[in-house]
């Protein structure tokens, strides 16, 4: 026989003012299972919890109902109180008489009281069917996978590794460093990007807890939080990294020249190459697409000149597996291709370049040794026009959103231009200046006042060629006049877009992405680094456009999350998950189909006791099940139930009023 | 066939025709924990008032809602049922609310066929941020059910007997 | 032998008679027979749509209805403004049957509108239905050495969602046709800038400044002549050129050809059939370049090739 | 100075949106249209400003502006608009509304433009086709500017650029009927 205790809360005046609490208690007492009912000012307070603890013991209660605020508020608090009294915490039910009654029916005390009574009846009825539940603990593999070796991936990897947790860092290109390694100086402090990044890159390579796997990609992820297994393809580098010393003889001799991605194709690299001098690891790889030895079987010079004999043209891609407990995705971003801007003559005029190309030009280790030049004739430009929002905030040609960083990097570029070419003049066409950030507005002021960049408010309408100049026409809305700037060089602040292979990655990881291809966080405000899938976290621009400070903070946040996840040897998990009884399961496997997490697998059990014949039944993977209950509703034979929300519990609620 | 269905419809909805004075309907609100229940909490915290007829049951996800629950409610205690979940695409459990939606449409057809008025059971999307919307939805449903009249004139006594 | 419904437009019998007649020559060579819309009326360009919505649709509507009486599936239109008015009407009618019914009621005696006839500008027809290869094959006197700036104006490629032809910013169809004829198309930036069109009578100073800019850029691009596919553009650039020269104090002397005139020329028709005397700006100077191979031509050719590549990419 | 907040609902905005099928509210004032528009420097208010005026519900100002009369409907602006707003349609809507509600911009330029279009339409009404020479003549007479373009005339006529006659339509009355019905439709609205 069930013995229920009901504890009704005044919540100060919040509940007591709008419904008649004592009357509720009286009404509840009339339910025959209720052996004890009492009201109190603040049930969540320590004395309040004390009342509950005492009552449990003195009245030998079998379940407890607290009628107070929303369970989303204090369920945990009261569960704690129960377990302190030696009672299974899951024998608690909360009747939400504040959010669902006193606060929303303030003009009708009678109705509110009635409703409160019903809510209590429902809670009581449900609690009668409650069962003892115990937190599930799943073992954890304390190793993290970080996908992407940009600043986000580097930061996350270092922070996790510093907590003595092993990290596997997978980078698709031959070196880590990402976009930040291509930058010259960074806003708003103008400190040298390379100088602050390269030490971190070296740390990654030398860190005892980091396994760096460059020139590789993730193929497959299976398992569940704490117990993932990942397949990684190591692309053939045709160079034996163990023996290679990175002396550079090979790429100095290599006869094949290819456009250099690192310098945005502004100069050439060889077919065997390291992306850039400070590359980590500083070992070359052979670009199989262009190497004549691999394509035509002719050449082989690099093998000849390599003293260590590290070149191996027969090398194949290699698939490796790792056991991991958590994943940090940090695949960064791509730059939008401005080709659709036909009215600007993009693609027809050499002297229209993108901001990343400009960045490479002004960069000390860039193709032009830090001096911006006109690609058409190699002259140093005097008048440079910077155009913002190329692709950003442009539904017609690009994407709707604001790329967030263009305002600032363009400001930086005007200043860099001034530093490199003193007698130059920068014109900036903008729609808005978005300089929200520490020291950002001051930085813009610096550009406008100290270096005298001319800001014109308007979107450029057309660019056409006149002699060797580019005429840039647009409205300056401040004076309401159409202006034309005679430019030597035009720099387009192209939009930040999601990496094009993000959707594929999201599919293989089992996480969701938005219409732009950015990976989706679990909650836009309160869970910005988690994904909806437990144990997978997001760092940097792969989630949305960000500047470096934001990226680094998010990466560290991911690290904190991973460390938290790995705090114990096992992981505690909410017991409110599905359970299947083999007796009733007919093996129709509807549940297998509907489970959003693939948490249900099939299993073979004997037909009957001792019988050799086997039949198929469904089996829940406790670690994976998130407890949505989809399977329960589709189960024809009612073999499945969802702990905490069983059919008896809910039916009790329904019939109780 | 047509005629039969009509008859059934009348016979089941008939009790509704004799609504006692100051009768108030009971509406069973089955809400998913992550969106609609949170939304209803928000309605409370923002003190938005709505009719007191709804009795709320919390389920983890709208896909947990078994047609049985709707039928049972209408059979025993409720004059109408509101099921509410996350907006399509926002399901906390990735795709649960899609299952819920399909299942609900079928259930509705069935209930219709056996003669329940289509407004007896209703479905809505309410996100955790849509406090005001939840109030609106409840107001509308309550209004619809009031128009339809009672299904049960005996539920209170019924409970006492238990 | 192909058949094509033909809407000449008012100016075909007036200011752009040379367009009309050379077009017929060219199509004769290309074995296309034109069938005039019986008793067609003015499409209302460029005034009807300015003053009233209904007439703006009604006038073209009548022609569309009459055009459907002929079997042909396609109607070719010489004048760009007529082309645009008709196409706009067709598109809007097909999108909005309600409106179509209302407008049809104004011309109901002439028949009912079904929207069965496809509308193309003559440029589009030459480019899509006849094709560069066929055109090339008919060339007997290639225009080698002649550098032309192809000027499309506003109406042939804009608005994109109406015309669905070539690029609204940097079209290349006419350039490619001219290159098929052996001429060299220059990298000309004002291909689709407006010449002032409908203001040619009511607001001449606007026309003069706009057309002036176009002439300037054409010269800039190193062209001997401008090629057009629109009577309004032609008369604005040709007839007004002396005034513009006076206004700006520069001597352009750039003749403005209809692309059909150049085609006819390349197809080997004798000069005296090409109505050159109708031009205000004498053409002889420009035509003198034909046959002359000038070194820079090669370079420009490359650039336009590059441009073609671009356009094909998109 | 303009006082805002005195009028209630912005019915002008609604009217323009309804007639043009565009949504003026989408305009975020980037000004790309202004730099694009070939005639913006002749307008009292360039397109961007007209859009803002519509948003603010400045009906009179928008109607009396010469902008919508100068718009050539060349569609360059809409082709480049980042929000794909059909600006020519908006201009046309404002113009048509202004005509329907008889707002008359009295500046000579607009008067001339308007006169030209009226003559043009009357030509079609009379002949079913356009009669260029006569049109020019009438235009010059009506705008009291007899010798406008006269220096072109001899040359043009001589070269047969402008024909002396026009081949009128067989069923010119079909056109007249069309005019009648169309005008009726206008009134109905």
Map out the domains of chain B as residue ranges.
Answer: 2-15+24-149
A460 reaches D (C-beta below 8 A)? yes
A122 reaches B (C-beta below 8 A)? yes
What Rg value do the Cα atoms of chain B yield, rounded? 16
Q: Given the structure tokens 């009309």, which residue do they identify? A: C20
A598 reaches B (C-beta below 8 A)? no
| Under 8 Å between Cβ of A336 and A398 | yes
- What is the 8-class DSSP label of residue C108? G
What is the arithmetic mean of pLDDT over C150-178?
A: 92
What is the arithmetic mean of pLDDT over B116-144?
A: 92
The predicted structure's pLDDT at residue A160? 98
State percent of chain A over pLDDT 90: 89
The answer to whether the CB atoms of A477 and D48 lie below 8 A apart is yes
The answer to whether the CB atoms of D31 and A393 lie below 8 A apart is no
User: Between residues A1 and A421, which one has the greater pLDDT?
Assistant: A421
Lowest mean pLDDT, pick from A45-54, A479-488, C46-55: C46-55
Residues of chain D with CATH 1.10.1060.10: 11-100
CA distance A273 to B46: 62
CA distance D161 to C204: 18
Q: Which band of pLDDT confidence, cut at 50, 70 and 90, is reported for residue B4? A: very low
> Which chains have at least 3 CB atom pairs separated by less than 8 Å from chain A?
B, C, D
**Closest-CA residue in chain A for B26?**
A657
Q: Which residue in the set C15, C109, C199 is minimally distant from D174, CB to CB?
A: C109
Q: Which CATH superfamily is domain D11-100 in?
A: Alpha-helical ferredoxin (1.10.1060.10)
Question: Is the peptide bond prior to A188 cis by the omega test (within 30 degrees of 0)?
Answer: yes
Q: Which band of pLDDT confidence, cut at 50, 70 and 90, is reported for residue D155? A: low
Q: C123, C140, C168: which is the final residue of a domain?
A: C123
State percent of chain C over pLDDT 70: 93
Q: C75, C91, C123: which is the final residue of a domain?
A: C123
Query: Do C137 and C55 belong to one domain?
Result: no
Query: Do C177 and C114 belong to one domain?
Result: no
Is pLDDT at C232 greater than 60 in this prediction? yes
Count the domains in chain C. Answer: 2
The predicted structure's pLDDT at residue B11? 39
D48 reaches A (C-beta below 8 A)? yes
Residues of A in contact with C310 (CB under 8 A): 339, 347-348
C7, C50, C111: best to mutate for the D interface, most D CBs within 10 A: C50
The answer to whether the CB atoms of A394 and D82 lie below 8 A apart is yes
Query: Do C208 and C291 belong to one domain?
Result: yes
Query: Do C94 and C211 belong to one domain?
Result: no
The predicted structure's pLDDT at residue A210? 97
CA distance A106 to A567: 46
What is the arithmetic mean of pLDDT over C235-250?
A: 90
Sequence-ordered list of residues with C-beta below 8 angstroms from that of D165, at least 6 positions apart, any chain: none
The predicted structure's pLDDT at residue A48? 94
Evaluate the CA torsion angle A627, A628, A631, A636 in order and state its sign: positive
Nearest partner of D81 among D21, D17, D37, judged by Cα:
D37
Residues of A in contact with C307 (CB under 8 A): 348
Q: What is the pLDDT of residues A72-131, one digit of tens each?
A: 889 999 999 999 999 999 999 999 999 999 999 999 999 999 999 999 999 999 999 999
The answer to whether the CB atoms of A393 and D28 lie below 8 A apart is yes
Query: Do C144 and C50 belong to one domain?
Result: no
A593, A630, A639: best to mutate for the B interface, most B CBs within 10 A: A630
The predicted structure's pLDDT at residue B102? 92
Query: Do C36 and C94 belong to one domain?
Result: yes
What is the arithmetic mean of pLDDT over A239-254?
A: 93
Q: Which residue in the set C59, C203, C277 is minimally distant from D109, CB to CB?
A: C203
Q: What is the pLDDT of residues C249-288, one digit of tens each?
A: 999 999 999 999 999 999 999 998 998 988 989 999 899 9
Is pLDDT at D129 greater than 50 in this prediction? yes
D26, D32, D38, D87: best to mutate for the A interface, most A CBs within 10 A: D32
Binding-face residues of C in 217-276 toward A, CB within 8 A: 217, 220
Structural domain for C167, as ranges: 132-313
Q: What is the pLDDT of residues A530-543, one digit of tens each?
A: 987 889 999 999 99
The predicted structure's pLDDT at residue B3? 37
A101, A525, A627, A629: best to mutate for the B interface, most B CBs within 10 A: A629
CA dist list (Å): D183 to A300, C98, C131, C249, D61: 84, 18, 44, 47, 27
Mean confidence (pLDDT) of chain A = 94
Residues of A in contact with B64 (CB under 8 A): 628-630, 632-633, 642, 645
> Which chains have at least 3 CB atom pairs separated by less than 8 Å from chain D?
A, C
Tokens, residue C172: 């290349």
Instruction: State the smallest CA–CA distance between residue A394 and chain C in angstroms.
Output: 17
Is pLDDT at A397 greater than 80 in this prediction? yes
Taking domain B2-15+24-149, whether its CATH number is 3.40.50 is answered by yes
> Which chains have at least 3 CB atom pairs separated by less than 8 Å from chain B?
A
- What is the 8-class DSSP label of residue A541? G
A547 reaches B (C-beta below 8 A)? no
Mean confidence (pLDDT) of chain C = 87
Query: Do C82 and C179 belong to one domain?
Result: no
Instruction: State the smallest CA–CA distance between residue A525 and chain C in angstroms.
Output: 40
Lowest mean pLDDT, pick from A317-321, A467-471, A594-598, C197-201: C197-201
Q: Which band of pLDDT confidence, cut at 50, 70 and 90, is reported for residue D162? A: low
What is the arithmetic mean of pLDDT over B108-116?
A: 88
**DSSP calls for A468-525:** TEEEEEEEETTTTEEEEEEESEEEEEEPEE--TTHHHHHHHHT--B-TTSPBPPSBTT
Q: What is the pLDDT of residues C174-229, one digit of tens each?
A: 999 999 999 999 999 899 998 887 787 777 888 888 999 999 999 999 999 999 99
Sequence-ordered list of residues with C-beta below 8 angstroms from that of D73, at least 6 positions apart, any chain: C46, C49, C50, D88, D91, D92
Is pLDDT at B15 greater than 60 in this prediction? no
Residues of D in contact with A394 (CB under 8 A): 82
Q: What is the pLDDT of residues A488-517, one digit of tens each?
A: 999 999 999 999 999 999 988 888 888 899
Instruction: State the smallest CA–CA distance between residue C265 and chain A in angstroms.
Output: 31
A111 reaches B (C-beta below 8 A)? yes
Nearest partner of A262 among A196, A195, A331, A181, judged by Cα:
A181
Q: Is the ipTM of this complex over 0.90?
A: no
Tokens, residue C190: 């004002």
CB neighbour class for A365 (10 Å; exposed up to 12, middle 13-18, buried from 19)? middle
The answer to whether the CB atoms of C47 and D117 lie below 8 A apart is yes
Enumerate domains of chain A plus CATH numbers: 4-128 (3.40.50), 144-235+317-333+498-565 (3.50.50.60), 249-305 (no CATH), 334-497 (3.50.50.60), 578-656 (3.30.70.20)
Query: Do C110 and C43 belong to one domain?
Result: yes
CB neighbour class for A314 (10 Å; exposed up to 12, middle 13-18, buried from 19)? exposed
C127 reaches A (C-beta below 8 A)? no
C157, C168, C169: best to mutate for the A interface, most A CBs within 10 A: C169
Binding-face residues of A in 380-409 toward D, CB within 8 A: 389, 393-397
Domain CATH number, residue C103: 1.20.1050.140
Query: A touches C (3+ CB pairs < 8 Å)?
Result: yes
Query: Do C162 and C97 belong to one domain?
Result: no
């Amino acid at each position: 026989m069930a013995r229920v205790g009901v504890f009704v809360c005044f919540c100060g005046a919040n509940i007591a003012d709008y419904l008649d609490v004592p009357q509720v208690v009286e009404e509840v007492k009339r339910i025959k299972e209720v052996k004890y009912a009492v009201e109190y000012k603040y049930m969540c307070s320590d004395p309040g919890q004390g009342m509950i603890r005492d009552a449990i013991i003195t009245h030998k209660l079998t379940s407890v109902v607290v009628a107070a605020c929303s369970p989303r508020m204090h369920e945990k608090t009261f569960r704690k109180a129960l377990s302190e009294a030696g009672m299974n915490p899951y024998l608690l039910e909360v009747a939400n008489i504040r959010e669902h009654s006193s606060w929303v029916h303030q003009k009708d005390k009678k109705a509110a009281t009635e409703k409160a009574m019903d809510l209590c009846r429902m809670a009581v009825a449900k609690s009668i069917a409650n069962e003892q539940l115990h937190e599930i603990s799943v073992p954890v593999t304390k190793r993290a996978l970080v996908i992407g070796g940009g600043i986000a991936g580097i930061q996350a990897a270092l922070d996790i590794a510093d907590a003595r947790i092993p990290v596997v860092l997978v980078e698709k290109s031959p070196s880590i460093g990402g976009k930040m390694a291509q930058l010259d100086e960074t806003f708003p402090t103008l400190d040298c990007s390379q100088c602050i990044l390269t030490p971190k890159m070296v740390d990654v390579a030398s860190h005892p807890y980091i396994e760096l796997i460059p020139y590789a990609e993730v193929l497959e992820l299976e398992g569940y939080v704490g117990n993932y297994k990942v397949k990684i393809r190591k692309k053939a580098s045709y160079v034996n990294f163990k023996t290679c010393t990175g002396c550079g003889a090979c790429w100095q001799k290599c006869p094949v020249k290819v456009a250099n991605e690192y310098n945005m194709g502004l100069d050439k690299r060889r077919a065997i190459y390291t992306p850039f001098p400070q590359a980590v690891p500083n070992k070359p790889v052979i670009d199989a697409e262009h190497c004549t030895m691999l394509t035509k079987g002719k050449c082989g010079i690099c093998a000849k000149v390599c003293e260590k004999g590290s070149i191996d043209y027969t090398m194949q891609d290699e698939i490796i597996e790792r056991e991991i407990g958590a994943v940090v995705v940090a695949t960064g971003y791509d730059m939008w291709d401005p080709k659709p801007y036909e009215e600007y003559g993009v693609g027809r005029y050499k002297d229209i370049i993108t901001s990343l190309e400009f960045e490479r030009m002004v960069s000390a280790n860039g193709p032009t040794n830090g001096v911006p030049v006109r690609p058409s004739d190699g002259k140093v430009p005097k008048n440079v026009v910077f155009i913002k929002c190329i692709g950003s905030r442009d539904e017609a040609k690009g994407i709707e959103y604001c790329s967030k960083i263009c305002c600032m990097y363009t400001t930086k570029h005007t200043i860099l231009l001034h530093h490199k070419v003193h007698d130059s003049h920068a014109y900036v066409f903008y729609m808005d200046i978005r300089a929200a950030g520490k020291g950002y507005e001051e930085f813009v002021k610096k550009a406008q006042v100290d270096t005298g960049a001319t800001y014109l408010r308007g979107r450029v309408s057309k660019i056409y060629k006149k002699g060797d100049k580019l005429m840039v026409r647009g409205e300056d809305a401040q004076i309401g006049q159409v202006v034309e700037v005679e430019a030597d060089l035009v720099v387009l602040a192209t939009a930040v877009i999601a990496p094009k292979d993000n959707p594929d990655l999201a599919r293989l990881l089992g996480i969701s992405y938005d219409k732009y291809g950015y990976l989706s966080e679990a909650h836009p405000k309160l869970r910005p680094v988690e994904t909806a899938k437990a144990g997978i976290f997001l760092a940097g621009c792969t989630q949305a456009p960000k500047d470096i400070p934001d990226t680094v903070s998010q990466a560290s946040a991911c690290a904190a999350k991973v460390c938290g996840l790995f705090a114990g040897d096992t992981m505690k998990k909410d017991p409110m998950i599905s359970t299947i009884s083999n007796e009733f399961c007919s093996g129709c496997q509807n549940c297998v189909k509907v489970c959003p997490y693939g948490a249900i697998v099939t299993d073979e059990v004997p037909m009957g006791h001792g019988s050799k014949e086997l039949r198929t039944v469904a089996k829940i993977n406790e670690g994976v099940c998130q407890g949505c209950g989809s399977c329960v509703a589709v189960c024809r034979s009612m073999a499945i139930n969802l702990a905490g929300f069983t059919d008896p519990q809910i039916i009790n609620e329904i019939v109780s009023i | 066939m047509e005629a039969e269905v009509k008859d059934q419809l009348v016979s089941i909805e008939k009790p509704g025709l004799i609504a006692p004075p100051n009768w108030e309907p009971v509406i069973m609100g089955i809400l998913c924990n992550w969106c609609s229940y949170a939304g209803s909490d928000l309605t409370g915290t923002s003190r938005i008032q709505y009719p007191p007829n709804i009795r709320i049951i919390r389920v983890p996800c709208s896909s947990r809602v078994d047609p049985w629950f709707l039928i049972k409610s209408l059979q025993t205690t409720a004059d109408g049922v509101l099921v509410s979940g996350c907006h399509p695409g926002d399901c906390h459990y990735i795709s649960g609310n899609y299952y819920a939606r399909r299942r609900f449409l079928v259930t509705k057809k069935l209930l219709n066929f056996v003669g329940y008025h289509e407004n007896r059971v209703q479905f809505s999307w309410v996100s955790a941020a849509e406090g005001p919307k939840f109030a609106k939805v409840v107001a509308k449903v309550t209004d619809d059910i009031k128009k339809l009249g009672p299904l049960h004139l005996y539920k209170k006594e019924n409970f006492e007997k238990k | 032998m192909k058949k094509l419904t033909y809407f000449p437009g008012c100016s075909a019998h007036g200011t752009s008679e040379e367009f009309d007649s050379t077009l017929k020559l060219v199509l004769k060579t290309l074995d296309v027979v034109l069938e005039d819309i019986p008793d067609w009326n003015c499409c209302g360009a460029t005034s009807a749509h300015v003053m009233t919505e209904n007439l703006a649709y009604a006038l073209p509507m009548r022609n569309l209805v009459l055009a459907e009486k002929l079997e042909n599936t396609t109607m070719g239109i010489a004048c760009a403004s007529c082309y645009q008015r008709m196409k706009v009407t067709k598109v809007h009618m097909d999108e909005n049957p309600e409106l179509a019914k209302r407008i049809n009621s104004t011309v109901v005696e002439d028949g009912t509108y079904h929207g069965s006839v496809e509308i193309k500008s003559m440029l589009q027809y030459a480019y899509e239905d006849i094709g560069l290869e066929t055109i090339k094959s008919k060339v007997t006197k290639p225009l080698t050495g002649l550098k032309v700036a192809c000027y499309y104006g506003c109406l042939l490629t804009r608005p994109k969602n109406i015309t669905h032809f070539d690029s609204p910013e940097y079209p290349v169809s006419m350039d490619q046709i001219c290159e098929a004829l052996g001429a060299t198309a220059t990298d000309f930036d004002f291909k689709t800038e407006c010449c002032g069109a409908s203001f040619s009578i009511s607001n001449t100073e606007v026309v003069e400044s706009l057309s002036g800019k176009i002439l300037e850029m054409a010269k800039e691009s190193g062209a001997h002549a401008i090629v057009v596919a629109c009577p309004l553009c032609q008369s604005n650039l040709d007839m007004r050129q002396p005034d513009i020269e006076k206004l700006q104090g520069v001597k352009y002397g750039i003749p403005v050809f209809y692309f059909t005139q150049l085609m006819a020329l390349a197809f080997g028709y004798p000069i005296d059939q090409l109505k050159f005397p109708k031009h205000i700006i004498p053409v002889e100077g420009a035509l003198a370049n034909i046959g002359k191979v000038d070194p820079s031509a090669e370079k420009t050719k490359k650039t336009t090739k590059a441009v073609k590549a671009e356009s094909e990419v998109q | 100075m303009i006082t805002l907040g005195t009028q209630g609902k912005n019915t002008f905005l609604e009217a323009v949106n309804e007639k043009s099928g565009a949504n003026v509210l989408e305009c975020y004032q980037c000004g790309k249209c202004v730099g694009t528009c070939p005639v913006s420097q002749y307008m009292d208010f360039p397109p961007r400003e007209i859009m803002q005026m519509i948003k603010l519900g400045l009906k009179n100002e928008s109607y009396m502006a010469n902008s919508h009369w100068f718009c050539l409907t060349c569609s360059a602006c809409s082709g480049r608009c980042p929000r794909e707003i059909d600006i020519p349609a908006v201009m046309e809507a404002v113009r048509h509304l202004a005509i329907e509600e008889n707002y008359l911009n009295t500046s000579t330029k607009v008067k001339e433009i308007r006169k030209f279009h009226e003559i043009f339409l009357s030509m079609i009404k009379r002949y079913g086709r356009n009669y260029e020479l006569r049109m020019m003549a009438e235009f010059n007479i009506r705008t009291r500017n007899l010798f406008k373009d006269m220096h072109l005339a001899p040359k043009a006529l001589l070269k047969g650029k402008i024909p002396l006659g026009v081949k009128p339509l067989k069923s010119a009355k079909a056109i007249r009927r069309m005019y009648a019905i169309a005008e009726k439709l206008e009134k109905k609205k």
